[in-house]
């Protein structure tokens, strides 16, 4: 099992480390080898479920989650919990429902209640030490293939992106770059988190390839502009 600590602040995570060490005590599992990926803090709604979910993962216990969807519907689902992942200052449980083969993510701040389920736990063969390498965020559409994403980045913004890459496999294409802009290539499975990340940089990032993603980003910008002008 894997725990991947991504630049945790020592003071923020002392209490978390102590709690996890207590949970892992006598389990012959190292604090640096479990299923949690840290990169920020836990000070938000849903924090109260963190340690319970970690225990359920370690105990291989199926759980029933009472959950409020993004559309506002209240649902309850039985889930095999596998991993806790932090992205963009939010925490997500990665798990699977019995009826499906694909993994699903559940934002901790949308969980209303958690109970133990009587459904027999089913383990996963997914290696979470590499599972997130080819995506931005937590959403992975396994029906899509990895594509080389070419991004044109303004020279002013590039130093920031060079020191804090959008993805560990980001590569600068020197032959396509000059003093006005830089071009990087990232092998990714495109998802909504990638689109949102690109849009968050405004005019500093332009999609060059693939064409379908370039068009999609352009359409989203056009829709946003039309909505702004209407208001």
Predicted confidence (pLDDT) per residue in 93-144, tens digit: 999 999 999 999 999 999 999 999 999 999 999 999 899 999 999 999 988 9
pLDDT band at 2 (very low <50, low <70, confident <90, very high): very low
Q: What are the residues facing 93 on neighbouring strands?
A: 84, 106
Per-residue pLDDT tens over the stretch 185-225? 999 999 999 999 999 998 999 999 999 999 999 998 887 77
Instruction: Check residue 226 and give its pLDDT.
Output: 74
Instruction: Decide: helix, strand or coil at residue 204.
Output: helix
The two tokens of residue 62 are 């199926």
For residue 90, which of 193, 163, 175, 17 has the smallest C-alpha distance?
Answer: 193
Count of C-beta atoms within a 10 Å radius of residue 16 = 19
- CA 50/CA 18 separation, integer angstroms: 14
Instruction: Check residue 3 and give its pLDDT.
Output: 43
Radius of gyration (C-alpha) of the chain in whole angstroms: 20
Instruction: Decide: helix, strand or coil at residue 198.
Output: helix
pLDDT band at 4 (very low <50, low <70, confident <90, very high): very low
* Percent of the chain surpassing pLDDT 70: 80
Sign of the four-CA dihedral 122, 100, 44, 42: positive
5 pLDDT above the threshold of 50: no
- CA 41/CA 50 separation, integer angstroms: 12
- CA 206/CA 183 separation, integer angstroms: 9
Instruction: Check residue 89 and give its pLDDT.
Output: 81
74 pLDDT above the threshold of 60: yes
pLDDT band at 32 (very low <50, low <70, confident <90, very high): low
pLDDT band at 145 (very low <50, low <70, confident <90, very high): very high
Lowest mean pLDDT among 18-27, 43-52, 86-95, 172-181: 18-27
**What beta strand segments (E) does the chain contain?**
3-5, 36-38, 63-68, 74-87, 90-96, 104-107, 111-116, 147-154, 171-172, 181-188, 205-209
């Amino acid at each position: 099992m894997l725990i991947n600590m991504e630049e945790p602040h020592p003071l923020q995570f002392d209490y978390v480390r102590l709690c996890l060490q207590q949970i892992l005590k006598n389990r012959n599992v190292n604090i640096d080898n479990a299923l949690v990926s840290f990169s920020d803090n836990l000070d938000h709604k849903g924090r109260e479920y963190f340690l319970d979910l970690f225990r359920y993962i370690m105990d291989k216990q199926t759980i029933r989650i009472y959950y409020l969807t993004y559309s506002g519907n209240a649902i309850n689902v039985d889930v095999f919990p596998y991993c806790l992942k932090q992205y963009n200052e939010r925490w997500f449980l990665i798990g699977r429902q019995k009826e499906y083969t694909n993994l699903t993510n559940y934002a901790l701040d949308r969980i209303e209640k958690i109970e133990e389920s009587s459904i027999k736990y089913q383990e996963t063969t997914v290696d979470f030490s590499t599972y997130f390498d080819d995506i931005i965020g937590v959403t992975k559409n396994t029906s899509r293939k990895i594509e080389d994403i070419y991004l044109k980045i303004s020279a002013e913004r590039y130093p920031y992106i060079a020191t804090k890459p959008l993805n560990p496999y980001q590569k600068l294409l020197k032959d396509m770059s000059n003093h006005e802009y830089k071009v990087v290539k990232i092998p990714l499975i495109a998802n909504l988190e990638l689109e949102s990340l690109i849009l968050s940089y405004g005019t500093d990032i332009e999609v060059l390839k693939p064409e379908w993603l370039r068009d999609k980003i352009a359409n989203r910008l056009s829709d946003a502009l039309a909505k702004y002008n209407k208001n």
